[in-house]
Amino acid sequence: MYDDHQKVVLIGDGAVGSAYAYAAINQGMTGELAIINHTKEKAIGDVMDLEDATPYRSSLKIYAADYETCYNADIVVICAGAPQKPGETRLQLVTKNLKIVKEITKKVVSSGFDGIFIVAANPVDIMSYAVLKQSGFASEQVIGTGTSLDTARLKIALAKMFNVNAQSININVLAEHGDSEFAAFSSADIGGIPLLNLISQEGYTLKDLANVEKSVRNKAYQIIDYKGATFYGVATAIMRIATAILRDEGSVITVGCYLDGQYGYDDVYIGTPAVVGAGGIQEIIELPLNIVEKQAMASSVETLKKTTRDSMIKAGMINYLL
Ligand SMILES: NC(=O)c1ccc[n+]([C@@H]2O[C@H](COP(=O)([O-])OP(=O)(O)OC[C@H]3O[C@@H](n4cnc5c(N)ncnc54)[C@H](O)[C@@H]3O)[C@@H](O)[C@H]2O)c1
């Protein structure tokens, strides 16, 4: 199924990282999965636990490692990030995580790594931007998870509404992975029928769609209230992106991409569909947007650019700003 010489390095073996490793085993990944964590004991313990799953599903060689291991990896997945503490502002968390991601990127690049970064640490659009700037890599090589999780959340909500399999729904959540994201309803379809035509056929209104969009935006907060963290969805999204790279699929996936004129913007990471293959981002797909969606995109990009700029300055990365 996979080329045995392929190698992925996971950095940050917490809830998201370990769920990704588990997904890799259960989806039959072969080759090597190296795990780096701040506290190496966690990585060693997880490897001992995870390797017991491999005899039942895959021949993945899985081990705890240090940064030198990155030099010949195809993919480095960054899931390391400090959790938010009570009373801590979002901007303070951004600054803290930027410092972590900056150090990690330096160490990965120093190893000689020249593969593809997949960034999941939050706020993911800003962390992806920092990895791009710190690494000096081509933007094709730095992929954020972007709105992949939000798109999955929207698909499952619509699947319940229209009583079809979520995989049969073509739709994307665009822009920030966060509060300013929006659903691109105008380009969505189910079985080739535009979603905006289907809603009236099925007795729904635009207000119902707006409610679904809002519930998707708030789902992470709900899950965190119930169980403290969210990880299975994003872990599987990371696995989907990694698979498209390792198999050189050329698949269209909603991911986090660096814009260079697409949608009329540049020098910012947003969630958008893109073609993903062995070289990373092969092409960004620029969806047609209606007037409301254009306004939502403008507002989200403005938010992202401002937060990126403020936090990069605070994290001592001012020299990377255009
Ligand atoms: N992109 C998404 O859609 C999405 C979804 C959920 C969570 N996340 C984000 O993923 C990140 C991880 O979340 P989590 O729930 O797994 O957190 P967690 O606290 O469970 O795990 C974080 C891990 O990172 C490690 N770590 C911290 N600093 C490190 C460093 N400098 N080097 C190596 N490892 C380091 C910690 O030891 C810990 O194991 C967070 O930023 C979270 O917000 C993203």
Q: Averaged in consecutive runs of 10 residues, what is the pLDDT profile of the chain (322 residues)?
A: 75 97 94 97 98 92 98 98 66 85 97 98 95 97 98 98 97 96 98 96 96 95 90 98 97 98 98 98 98 98 95 86 70
Ligand 1 pocket residue status of 120, Cβ below 6 Å: yes
27 within some domain: yes
Ligand 1 pocket residue status of 81, Cβ below 6 Å: yes
pLDDT at 87: 61
Q: Which residues contact 161 (CB under 8 A, 6 or more apart)?
A: 202, 204, 208, 212
- Quote the pTM value: 0.96
Locate the ligand 1 atom nearest the alpha carbon of residue 17 and give its number. 16
237 within some domain: no
pLDDT at 156: 98
pLDDT at 84: 61
56 within some domain: yes
> Looking at residue 112, which CATH number applies to its domain?
3.40.50.720
pLDDT at 93: 77
What is the Cα gyration radius of the chain? 19
49 within some domain: yes
Specify the number of domains making up the chain.
Answer: 1
28 within some domain: yes
pLDDT at 91: 59
Range of the domain at 112: 7-146
- Residue 39 is which amino acid? T
Beta-bridge partner residues of 270: 257
What six digits make up the tokens of 239? 């696995």
259 within some domain: no
Q: How far is the CA of 316 from the centre of ligand 1 (A)?
A: 21
How many other C-beta atoms can be found within 10 angstroms of the C-beta atom of residue 278? Answer: 15
232 within some domain: no
Catalytic machinery residues: 177
Q: Read out DSSP for 230-295?
A: --HHHHHHHHHHHHHHHTT--EEEEEEEEEESGGG-EEEEEEEEEEEETTEEEEE------HHHHH
15 within some domain: yes
Ligand 1 pocket residue status of 312, Cβ below 6 Å: no
